[in-house]
Amino acid sequence: MTTEETARTTRPETARRSPEEPARHTAETAPRLAWAQHAPEVYKAMLRLDTAARKGLDPRLLELVKIRASQLNHCAFCLDMHSKDALAAGESVERIIQLGAWEESRHFYTEQEVAALALTDAVTVLTDGFVPDEVYDHAAKHFEEAELAQLIAAITVINAWNRFGVTCRMVPGHYEAGKHE
């Protein structure tokens, strides 16, 4: 153990600072890969897909769906972006926080939003099985056919961004609301 490590072990960061001092966070790491630069045609197709999939969907609902899928896929970059966009669009802090446990806090959301969130969970976690009939049928009760197809497309697209974000370890914290539009 080095001297520095000993000092850290015996005098932890939290013990040293006064309550007024902000805690020192761990260091930010660089992303793994600048994928959009290395695959510009892929990036262009992603932007085109994103634009096409959001057409006809309520922007407020779309942000809820994007945040929920990003939670399931553990995409820090996407959570940073979409929680900021949702807040900027007037979404409430509590509805954003409760998304992590939406099944227990249905009364924060409309019936249509609950149906969309259940579909988001099912379409995101395909590896556990299929999209159950009850989930699809519930969504089909609240969205007309074309809108439902767009919702599935939108869930697909945030899953796609999540995969790039997590795999390339894109760094959260620098996004400013509205910047991606």
Partner 1 sequence: MSRTDVLDPEVARALSALSAAAKRGLGDPALAEFVVVRASQLNHCAFCLDMHLTIARELGVSAQQLDLLAAWEEAEGVFDERERAALALTEAVTVLTDGRVPDEVYERAAKHFDDRELAHLIGLVVAINNWNRVMVGRRIPPGGYQP
Interface residue with partner 1 among 87, 131, 171, 177 (CB under 8 A) is 131
Does 101 contact partner 1 by CB under 8 A?
no
CB of 82 to partner 1, least distance (A): 16
**CB of 6 vs partner 1, minimal distance in Å:** 28
Give the one residue of 166, 171, 172, 177 binding partner 1; rule: CB under 8 A.
166
Would you count residue 72 as binding partner 1 (CB under 8 A)?
A: yes
32 to 61: interface string for partner 1, x by CB under 8 A: xxxxxxxx-xx-xxx-xx-xxx-x------
Q: 33 or 177: whose CB is closer to partner 1?
A: 33
**What is the spatial distance between Cα 156 and Cα 162, in angstroms, rounded to a whole number?**
10
Footprint on this chain of partner 1 (rule: CB under 8 A): 32-39, 41-42, 44-46, 48-49, 51-53, 55, 72-75, 119, 123-127, 129-131, 136, 140, 145-146, 148-150, 152-153, 155-157, 159-160, 162-164, 166-169
